[in-house]
Amino acid sequence: MKFAILRKLSASNIKPSCKAATTANITLSGAQPIDHVSIAAGDRVLVKDQGNAAQNGIYVAASGAWSRATDMDAWSEIPDAFTFVEQGTAHGDTGFVCASEAGGTIDSTAIEWAELAPQGQFQPLDGELTALSSVTSAADKLPYFTGPGAAAVTPFTPAARDLLDDTSAETMRSTLGVPINVANGVAGLDGDGNLTLPILVKGDTASNLDGMTLLSREIALETDTGKLRYGDGHTGGHRVKADLAGQTGFIPLPLGLFRYVESANGDLIPIPTPFFDAAGDNLHFVGSAASIQKIQWPGTNVLAIQASVPLPPDFDGTQDATLHVLTNMSAATDNPTIALATKWDGGTQYNDTVSATQGTTIAERTATIAASDIPDTPKMFWLRLTPATHNNEFLFLYAVWLTYIRK
């Protein structure tokens, strides 16, 4: 329809503009408002919405009966007529072209009008349209923008067109040649989009690569658990997980877990938290309850501190574990060691020693806990730290953590 209107406009007989255009059937006589515009005698009006379409046309208003405009009162002046509407809420600043064909009769044949440029709905000339108009069209070329107000063409190959006209991901994969329902040892996708990968599986009847067998396994998402599973189907196989066996695990022991051991009866007492007590002679936290910076043992203070933590299920008790501490001294005179006592699941207490703290530089000290002191599958770790004698300087503890081997 739009192309037909444009063809008519190119061959149209252009009429003088009209003051307003109708929006509904009107009485063709007297002064009256049209599309919120006051119409008086002598004004040209585009009449296009009469119940009897044969009455449509361009009229000159009068105090009595209106008459057709002299430039459009014969059928030969009707086809391809174009006029511009000057005012109006609905049709102001809008062009109309007559869609009626030759061969009609005035007042007998319907006269139809089409809006050429609906108000506010036309595309103004801008940099993008100018850029597109500057490119030269050619076979197998696709226009695209190279930047603001700049366009070019790129090859649009038959292969690209074959892919774009595919209506589903499956047909796209087929077009691209991605294997579907693949045989062993070849990666590909099935019709549902599930990925099949060649993986090495140990323990199958065939044997190569030191007991590993190359098989195709489907990787699928379990809808009930949200976990990936590989196997021969959606319901079988094994969950996919990172194999961390033999890797080092890390268990922090936050300083806030520690309590000091009351020397008289062995009760566990919360460590006090003065914000700063450099001159004090009591064990305490430095910092605040919300932000503990370190534990401080003043000179001559050798109170033990104690904490316990649960252990992860991958803790391998058949391997040595290592306790790590970050410590330093307030000066370089004293070099105390720290006695280490451990229990696993409330069992036998084992004793070790953390290497001596030397100097004012914060450094990591370690103690190895032998596998022979650890149950095979421990659930809980209990730790007590007791500094050796240091008569002059403060001993500071900043961090404690345990490393282990994952099973």
CATH classification at residue 397 = 2.60.120.260
Domain edge (last residue) among 64, 80, 115: 115
Could you tell me the sign of the dihedral formed by the alpha carbons of 232, 235, 236, 241, in that order? positive
Measured from the Cβ of residue 344, the count of other Cβ atoms closer than 10 Å reads: 22
Dump pLDDT digits (tens) for 89-125: 999 988 899 989 999 999 999 999 998 755 555 555 6
Same domain? 220 vs 336: no
Question: Which of 60, 80, 115 corresponds to the end of one domain?
Answer: 115
The answer to whether residues 205 and 349 belong to one domain is: no
The CA R_g of the chain, rounded to the nearest whole Å, is: 45
158: pLDDT confidence band, cut at 50, 70 and 90?
A: confident
Residue 143: how many other CB atoms lie within 10 Å = 15
The answer to the question of residue 259 being in a domain is yes
Name beta bridge partners: 141: 155
pLDDT in tens, 359-402: 889 999 999 999 999 999 999 999 988 888 888 888 889 999 99
Residues 388 and 273 in one domain: yes
* 96 contacts 9 by C-beta, under 8 angstroms: no
Same domain (yes/no): 295, 197: no
Tell me, yes or no, whether 266 and 352 share the same domain: yes
Residue 350 lies in a domain: yes
Calpha distance 281→300 (Å, rounded): 8
Domain that holds residue 324: 249-405
Q: Looking at the domain assignment, is residue 47 inside a domain? A: yes
Are 271 and 385 found together in one domain? Answer: yes
Dihedral of CA 16/47/97/119: which sign?
A: positive
Question: Is residue 227 one of the residues assigned to a domain?
Answer: yes
Is residue 111 located within the same domain as residue 24? yes
Give 47: exposed, middle or buried? Use CB within 10 Å, 0-12, 13-18, 19+: buried
Task: Give domain status of residue 166, yes or no.
Answer: no
pLDDT at 186 (0 to 100): 45
Examine the domain organization and report whether 203 and 103 are in the same domain.
Answer: no
Q: Is the domain of 231 the same as that of 271?
A: no
Beta strands in 86-237 (DSSP E): 94-98, 113-115, 141-147, 150-155, 188-189, 195-202, 212-221, 228-231
Distance, in Å, from the CA atom of 192 to the CA atom of 212, rounded to the nearest integer, reads 29
Chosen domain end from 201, 216, 239: 239
∠ CA(303), CA(304), CA(309), 5° rounding?
Answer: 150
Q: What pLDDT is attached to residue 252?
A: 94
> Tens digits of per-residue pLDDT, 18-49?
999 999 999 999 999 999 999 999 999 999 99
Number of folded domains in the chain? 3
The strand pairing partners of 115, in sequence order, are: 96
Question: Same domain, yes or no, for 229 and 304?
Answer: no
**Spatial separation of the C-alpha atoms in residues 228 and 233, rounded to whole Å:** 12
**Per the confidence metrics, is the pTM higher than 0.95?**
no
Minimum mean pLDDT range among 66-75, 223-232, 279-288: 223-232
Quickly state the pLDDT bin for 222 (edges 50, 70, 90): low
Both 305 and 354 in a single domain?
A: yes
257/388 same-domain check: yes
Work out the average pLDDT over 182-189. 47
